[in-house]
Chain A
Amino acid sequence: MSSRNLDRFGVPGWLQALPFGLVFAAFFIVPLILVVIVSFWDYNDYQMMPAFITRSYTESFEGCLTRLPDLCTLFKTYLSTAKFCLIVWALTLVIGFTVAYFLAFHIRTQTTQMVLFLVCTIPFWTSNVIRMVSWIPLLGRNGLVNQMLIGGHVVERPVEWLLYSQFSVALAFVHLFSFFMVAPIFNSMMRIDRRLIEAAYDGGASGWQMLTNVIIPLSKPGIAIGSIFVVTIVMGDFITFGVMGGQQIASAGKAIEARLNALQFPPAAANAVILLGATMLIITVLNRIVDIRKEL
């Protein structure tokens, strides 16, 4: 019956999805293919030239095998980026899970829940750069934190590592992107059948057992989706590393940006392909844990 209804009923699906699909074909699929193609092109100081050579890759991986056990620039950059991924992932996971858990299980009315969730969402809709800049008056050499530390005689001279440092980069990432953990985990938790919680409670589970045996396993899809977002954002970022690191900290994304600033497109493309490979590797691992499609 439903198929007869559909025949009679309305525009075919593929036609409705066509404009949407065309945007991604023109501005996502074709560009990605071009990135792969151009990564094998030749280049000189002022232009790129069609070719099929691996120059850009050999230059990017220069010294990676010969200099072992010392690390080449590329491996060092990826190692450093991976370190940030791990730190930011751990922090946003703990914060995101706690906030989502509070909203989902400790707020009793739906209205309050939505209002508080909105409070967490609104900053996500404002400018990231401004939110980075807003740390300057707090963390700078003469910033509030240093003023308080000196005023309280905790330190004698201003602490220098608060701003334009690895610390401030990690802090800004957590500040900007915890939302990407809060939202999917909250979504997963809201779908947990409350009768399961009742059953666990009636079965004599302690609060901790409830958390580890019921809530965490059932929140796994949200945790995985949030993790994918956070990890891939940090992997490809160049703006937060640039602004909060005072342009001094290397990252996989910044390596691409540096090539682009020099208008060296083929090496930039090769670096982009390497970054894509690394990102896909991470997602494959995370996708093993959960089928994303099922969870939306």
Chain B
Amino acid sequence: MNEGRSPAFYALSLFFALFVLFLYGPTIVIFILSFQGPTGGLTFPLNGVSVHWFEKLRAGGGIVDIAGAFKRSLALGLVVTILTVVLSLLAGLAFRKRFFGSDLLFYVTVASLIVPSIVTSLGIALEFRLIDDLIKQHGPAWLADGFQTSLGNFTSGLGAHLTWTLPFGLLVMFAIFNRFDGRYEEAARDLGATPWQTLRYVILPIILPSLVGVGLFGFTLSWDEIARSSQVMGEHNTLPMELQGLTTTVTTPEIYALGTATTGVSFGVIAMALFAIAILRARQARHGSDAARP
């Protein structure tokens, strides 16, 4: 297969290059414009280069509690990541066996991806509002007195995010276990490993790099989520929700600075995850075989 490239290859390469430019071009443009000079506007040309808009962003002037929203999104993202990895791993292990209701659970999971986010968000909001009403009307006095709402980042908000990240987590787990060589497990059993030992010393080390991938989906999907969050966050909005609000009110490059900062976090997390995967893979390659060791 070393014959020369066909003309189709060059045409397709060009198409692919244009597609990548289309994907990244706009992001690069706002990255550049976020360093706009203090007198510059929302479009080119650059009136000098400065970090003025980043400083303004840090000072928090004019924009409502961005720092708070940033921290909330970060905390929520971390909790979602951990739960996504643990629950998807457990469910992934379960789906390798046959269990009662596995088909139903699979269809529910896929449905959660497909049902429009606003419908899910509305449903969760209704659920928690009805819980609120119940507590206010029938709850014990210590709970009902001064009770505001059960809607919040880590109650309804967390649940809403999980209905979005877990399906991706499970699909990645399917992909992992489709490629998993069951003979390693059988060998461990034959050598007398307990189920826990098999999981801990055989399965987990092999799939660890892919689990990092599941975590990556968990964090990035939560970090950027708006549609499901829209009705369920209670009093405190997450960062992307604040951002969406700002698109209609802010008319300075500050919003680009915020965009660059948010995208920076995403890129940082992606880079860290990919780096971790590469290191884990390299380690596996080094320690994967003991054939050469004495």
Contact = CB atoms under 8 A, between A and B. Distances in A.
B122 A123 contact: no
Interface string B153-171: 0001001101100100011
Given A34-B123, A106-B9, A125-B220, A272 B19 contact: no
Of A5, A15, A126, A235, most buried by chain B (CB within 10 Å of CB) is A126
Contacts of A268: 122
Nearest to A130: B259
A221 to B, nearest CB: 14
Interface string A31-54: 111110010000000000000000
Given A16-B93, A23-B162, A31-B126, A293 B106 contact: yes
A77 interface: no
Interface stretch (B27-35, B56-64, B134-142, B144-152): B27-35
A98 B91 contact: no
B119 to A, nearest CB: 4
A90 to B, nearest CB: 16
**Interface bin, chain A:** 35 or more
Given A27-B159, A28-B163, A260 B127 contact: no
A144 interface: yes
A203 interface: no
Interface string A3-34: 00110011111111101110110111111111
B122 A129 contact: no
A91 to B, nearest CB: 11
Tell me whether chain A's interface is mostly helix, strand or loop, or mixed.
helix
Interface stretch (B96-104, B204-212, B285-293): B96-104
A228 B114 contact: yes
Contacts of B95: 13, 17
Given A26-B159, A276-B119, A283-B114, A95 B29 contact: no
Name the 6 nearest CB pairs between A and B, nearest first.
Answer: A236-B116, A31-B123, A13-B99, A10-B195, A27-B159, A134-B26
Given A144-B29, A236-B119, A279-B114, 9 more contacts: A13-B98, A16-B93, A133-B259, A207-B6, A236-B117, A237-B227, A253-B116, A256-B119, A257-B230
